Structure 1
Amino acid sequence: MSRTSNRTDGDIIRDFLSVAGLLEEPQLAQLYTYLVHGHEATVQDVIDDLELGQGTAYSNVNRLVDAGLVEVTHDEQPRRYAAHKIDLTVTTSAADREYTITPALIDAVGRAETNDDIGTYVDRHGVAGLATALTYTVARERGEVTHRLMADDLDISPLAAEMILQALRPVVHEYYDIEEAGASLDELDDDDGDARTFDNADGDDR
């Protein structure tokens, strides 16, 4: 589900509203991520692998189908489902910041169901704050920033920065190509230089 020039405004708005539902409900985000990785699955697969009740599993799958985020790939029983990949860029009215909603961000939201550190961060900073943290985690894993620089940029404690960076690390390594950095993280941690600010690092999300 990528935004292209030949798509109507109505299509884009429907995409945005559908994705917004995912970002508001970690359980739906978790299911969407499961279907993206599994390529195709039955509702029974969802029940077994995500440990959902039968009613919840059917309801959530149907909601994703109705939203246009999941499609039926095999109509005979048992039906099989697959997810459409999402790549949607949203520009906010505050300082014209852009957030790109990708499977990586949706995966991170879904992990709030099982990861207390991510859940707490979303509660305090919202999904926009989580998107910012994900950007910093990519940079951290590439050796470009440290938790102290992130903490200074976002006006949060170094401990809070380190906790969310660690929590998002598996997401980053699953979706991004991470190469060896030129400097070690220890060397970067000792650097007293100015903090690096990213375009979508919004201190107002705290």
Structure 2
Amino acid sequence: MPDDTRHVNGATARDLLSVATLLEDPQLAGLYAYLYREEPVTVREVMNALDFSRETTQTLLSRLEEMGTVETLTDDEPQKYRAASIELSLSADQGDRTYTVTPALIDAVGRRTADGDIDTYIDRHGLAGLATALIYAVDREQSRVTHRLMARNLDIAPLEAEIILQALRPVVHDHFEIEVTDSGDVFESESNAP
């Protein structure tokens, strides 16, 4: 009888390694996030949008395909690519807190090289801190929290909270539909959700 547990654990390990690679490489993360937001896209569209050379684009797409985070949709030229949906929950600090890695978090990491405020925040607070800040950024756009409340809850300076909330605002608007009704109630939903 085959050992299905080993296959499932092998797939889980591969998924974890793929997500870890995305979170460690801002260029891969940025490409993944672009594909997730704009799917389906061609190599030429990636080159134009991200200002990558053809060689860089094809190399990165191949790496993402090998990782199982991107798939080719057509065999015809020009080939079109789509990002797989990622949602992976991880526990940190001896299981006291759970963080969910989503395309929005991967996108925020991908913007690290272009946005010094995100880069600085990750250097100071790590990826878990960025994940927490992203939750506050969504709540801020829904008028549920202020930068001062975030600062108090996370024991950081109010200016630091305001800076990261502003830096994450484009990520929130690229991945979440934030709506305010006439009554002032706020609703959100993650875009591109399966």
Q: Tell me the TM-score range normalised by the shorter chain.
A: 0.7 to 0.9
Q: Is the 8 A contact 2:88 2:102 kept in 1?
A: yes
Residue 152 of structure 1 aligns with an amino acid whose one-letter code is: R
Measure how far apart 1:93 and its partner are.
4.2
Measure how far apart 1:21 and its partner are.
0.7
Q: State how far apart, in whole Å, the 1-side matches of 2:176 and 2:48 are.
A: 28
Q: State how far apart, in whole Å, the 1-side matches of 2:131 and 2:96 are.
A: 15
Residue 144 of structure 2 aligns with an amino acid whose one-letter code is: E
Once the two structures are superposed, what CA deviation does each residue of 1:158-184 show, in whole Å capped at 9, x if it has no partner? 11110001111122233234344999x
Measure how far apart 1:95 and its partner are.
4.2
Normalized per residue, the structure richer in strand is: 2
SS in 2 for 1:90: strand
Residue 52 of structure 2 aligns with an amino acid whose one-letter code is: L
> Who is 1:153 aligned against?
153
> Who is 1:65 aligned against?
65
Q: State how far apart, in whole Å, the 2-side matches of 1:180 and 1:141 are.
A: 10
TM-score, normalisation: structure 1: 0.78
Measure how far apart 1:104 and its partner are.
1.1
1:26 aligns with 2:26: yes
Q: State how far apart, in whole Å, the 1-side matches of 2:179 and 2:46 are.
A: 34
Q: State how far apart, in whole Å, the 2-side matches of 1:179 and 1:41 are.
A: 27
Once the two structures are superposed, what CA deviation does each residue of 1:122-162 show, in whole Å capped at 9, x if it has no partner? 22222111101001112222222221121122222111110
Residue 91 of structure 1 aligns with an amino acid whose one-letter code is: S
Residue 87 of structure 1 aligns with an amino acid whose one-letter code is: E
Q: State how far apart, in whole Å, the 2-side matches of 1:104 and 1:31 are.
A: 13
SS in 2 for 1:112: coil
Q: State how far apart, in whole Å, the 1-side matches of 2:77 and 2:142 are.
A: 46
1:176 aligns with 2:171: no
Measure how far apart 1:72 and its partner are.
1.3
Measure how far apart 1:79 and its partner are.
2.5
State how 1:84-103 maps to structure 2 within 5 Å.
84-103=84-103
Residue 67 of structure 1 aligns with an amino acid whose one-letter code is: M
> Who is 2:9 aligned against?
9
Identity %: 53
1:40 aligns with 2:31: no
**Between Structure 1 and Structure 2, how many residues are aligned?**
177
SS in 1 for 2:73: strand
SS in 1 for 2:71: strand
Segments of 5+ residues of structure 2 without an aligned counterpart are 1-6, 185-194
The 1:174–1:79 alpha-carbon spacing in structure 2 relative to 1, beyond 3 Å, is: closer
Q: CA RMSD in A?
A: 2.1
